[in-house]
Amino acid sequence: MTDLQSYLAQRVQYVDRALDSFLPSAGTKPVTIHKAMRHSIFAGGKRLRPILCLAAAEACGGSDADALSAACGVECLHTYSLIHDDLPCMDDDDMRRGVPTCHKVYGEAMALLAGDALQALAFELVAKSRAGHRYSIGDMILELACTAGSLHLVGGQVADLEGEGKNLQLDDLRFIHENKTAAMLTTSVKLGGMCADALPEELAALEKFGMTTGLAFQIIDDILDVTQTTEKLGKSAGKDIASEKSTYPALLGLDASCEKAHQLTEQAHRALDVFGPRGQQLRQLADYLLAREY
Amino acid sequence: MTDLQSYLAQRVQYVDRALDSFLPSAGTKPVTIHKAMRHSIFAGGKRLRPILCLAAAEACGGSDADALSAACGVECLHTYSLIHDDLPCMDDDDMRRGVPTCHKVYGEAMALLAGDALQALAFELVAKSRAGHRYSIGDMILELACTAGSLHLVGGQVADLEGEGKNLQLDDLRFIHENKTAAMLTTSVKLGGMCADALPEELAALEKFGMTTGLAFQIIDDILDVTQTTEKLGKSAGKDIASEKSTYPALLGLDASCEKAHQLTEQAHRALDVFGPRGQQLRQLADYLLAREY
């Protein structure tokens, strides 16, 4: 196991244990909803957002324990959005990460409600965070609420839905990527920083890091969908073309897309300079996310 | 117009104007989601919860302006829960208050997302409230998150869904009523009190008032469904029996149900004693809610 692999495995365990303690037990009444929430929370997620949140807190000189509740909050928000995305009226997905989706196991009504309850839990967990001197719990809730709402996460989802089968412009595609993906990555690191009383320049660096990493990640995903085989990706290649999705390679061409991903990755790395050696974990995580072959 | 009617009409206008300013305009990108959110928010609600929230702030010696953002937050949370309740996988309702439901106008996916965005907005608006000396924004967010989550609002909904067509015991029915209805009424008045720096005994009185009013309101609803004609109710009478719903009259008998409603109404009124003359508006609202013929 490489250092990075063992670091990630240890972090996943740390986050999973905390999530287990924060979620009502599967025996809590009404039992079905808590089973449904736990089904999706423990369906094998990589815990990328909470791990980024914890690493951001450490980069700002805080301890991971300070950010653990907020880290679990962002994972609850992410999981709620996946449950709702998978519903028949949205992407209608039966499986996610090799496990049946929430509505396939518990039915649509219960999946809808499990997502709803996980969104509420996300806010509860952020509200239970340690507030520092610079940022109040109110600041942290506003950060999460703004990202979760109609201008970002939900707004990106809407733009994605409405863009299907259309020839989007680059600005539209950027809007989708920034809001569907990059906004939540950014909020994850910012909340970690806020729990650790980040200096204003540190918080600005985390924002820059989140946005560039999020956008680079999506562009690389678009590129891999074109250049890789299904076997290598571990998921169906060519899915974007098949579903008539607008992508960076389709709009910019493959070379310009690779160049764009490269620039963003460099910007993400440069944003971490302000942290010096303390930014090591975020640097490793950026490599993990962005240094894929393309 | 009676005093009460003109008071309510003035409050509805006050809340509606604030909601209009808090919601992104219908032209904000992505346009469809903001139209969908506004469709349901402005579909003719009575604004009962925000009006209770404002009245509770005034009962505690605060101004209505202090509680306006939180009041709009509880209305957003209530509206999100109605949008999701009306979806085909839940109650599958085409109309609400004479207006087509959100998914009938904007489709299921957009209605799902409009509900999701309104839940996030609810937390945003509570986080934008004025925090007093006794209660932090964190306290207020925890109050809302706990009520919105799997133990209360969502939990009551689940118990209601799972109870359909079954012979529920009184405890089960009470669980549904307390969590589906009374919990949000209670949180509405408690948030109003928190914005106005309520004394501990005032907050306890608001909690008592909310729970007893909420439960009495539901029992009276159950009674009216049996005793009144469709004409008088303005909605289909006998609906509970037709849909095999467990009700207080079915479990306790009509006389004992009336007695129970009467006791709870008295308790609700007594809870307001602590406020003296300042509790006048809450008293009027309790009369409006509970003094229906049965």
DSSP 8-state code for residue B25? P
Cβ A27 vs Cβ A74: under 8 Å: no
CB contact under 8 A, B141 and A141: yes
CA dihedral sign, ordered B20, B21, B27, B29 = negative
At residue B238, the pLDDT reads: 67
How far is the C-alpha of B56 from the C-alpha of B59, rounded, in Å?
A: 5
Each residue's pLDDT tens digit, A267-293 = 999 999 999 999 999 999 998 998 876
pTM greater than 0.90:
yes
How confident is chain B (294 residues) per 10-residue block, as mean pLDDT? 90 98 97 98 96 98 96 98 97 93 98 98 96 93 98 97 91 95 97 98 98 95 83 64 80 94 95 97 92 74
At residue A234, the pLDDT reads: 61
Place of tokens 């939990």: B155
Mutate to test the interface with B, among A92, A154, A172 (most CBs of B within 10 A): A154
CB contact under 8 A, A30 and B158: yes
At residue B131, the pLDDT reads: 83
Burial class (CB in 10 A: 0-12, 13-18, 19+), A242: exposed
At residue A235, the pLDDT reads: 61
Bridge partners of B96?
B99
Q: What DSSP element (H or E) covers B99?
A: strand B99-100
| Percent of the residues in chain A that have a pLDDT greater than 90, as a whole number | 84
- Rounded mean pLDDT, A63-89: 97
Residues of chain A in contact with residue B27, where contact means CB-CB under 8 angstroms, are none
Residues of chain B in contact with residue A89, where contact means CB-CB under 8 angstroms, are 107-109, 112
- Rounded mean pLDDT, A212-219: 95
Each residue's pLDDT tens digit, B237-259 = 666 766 677 899 999 999 999 99
At residue B235, the pLDDT reads: 62
Residue type, B118: L
Judged by DSSP in three states, B167 sits in coil
Closest approach of A229 to chain B, Cα-based (Å): 32
Residues of chain A in contact with residue B29, where contact means CB-CB under 8 angstroms, are 155, 159, 175
At residue B228, the pLDDT reads: 80
How far is the C-alpha of B205 from the C-alpha of A33, rounded, in Å?
A: 31
Where do the structural domains in chain A lie, given as residue ranges?
A: 3-290
Bridge partners of A284?
none
Residues of B139-152 as b/e, b for ≥16 C-beta within 10 angstroms? bbbbbbbbbbbbbb
So what's the ipTM on this one?
Answer: 0.96
How far is the C-alpha of B185 from the C-alpha of B178, rounded, in Å?
A: 10
How far is the C-alpha of A236 from the C-alpha of A230, rounded, in Å?
A: 5
At residue B245, the pLDDT reads: 77
Nearest Cα residue to A106 out of B246, B92, B103, B89: B89
Distances from the Cα of B118 to the Cαs of A211, A267, B65, in angstroms?
Answer: 25, 34, 21
At residue A292, the pLDDT reads: 75
Each residue's pLDDT tens digit, A150-186 = 999 999 999 999 998 898 999 999 999 999 999 999 9
At residue B48, the pLDDT reads: 96
How far is the C-alpha of B175 from the C-alpha of B161, rounded, in Å?
A: 13
Closest approach of A26 to chain B, Cα-based (Å): 12
Q: What DSSP element (H or E) covers A95?
A: strand A95-96
Q: At A245, is the pLDDT very low, low, confident or very high (cuts 50, 70, 90)?
A: confident
Q: Which of A24, A33, A154 sits opposite B116 (nearest CB)?
A: A154
User: Which fold does the domain B3-290 belong to in CATH?
Assistant: Farnesyl Diphosphate Synthase (1.10.600)
